[in-house]
Amino acid sequence: MVQRTTDLERQQRKEFGARLRELRKERGLSQEGLAHEAELDRSYVGQVERGERNISLDNIYRFSRALGISPADLFTPGPR
């Protein structure tokens, strides 16, 4: 059975990526800088920010440590 990505899943990934980008920029980090701090590849950071990747729990924790925030903060919408 081939599992397809639903519209809801795509939207969730885009929202997560937008929040990651927002927090990264607030801290004055480039994608490359965040990737270095999180010990991940720069292209992976870009893919996550664009909502192209289904991020693992391990990488959520890497991003939160690199940004100096709790993992929950990556799911909390910023001010609009």
Each residue's pLDDT tens digit, 57-71? 999 999 999 999 999
DSSP class of residue 71 equals G
Domain count within the chain: 1
CATH label of the domain that carries residue 45? 1.10.260.40
DSSP class of residue 3 equals P
Statement: the pTM of the whole predicted model exceeds 0.85 = yes
The pLDDT, as a whole number, for residue 33 is 98
Containing structural domain, residue 67: 7-73
- Please choose, from the candidates 59, 54, 55, 46, the residue with its C-alpha nearest in 3D space to the C-alpha of residue 6: 54
* Residue pLDDT tens, the chain, 80 long: 777 889 999 999 999 999 999 999 999 999 999 999 999 999 999 999 999 999 999 999 999 999 999 999 999 887 65
38 within domain boundaries: yes
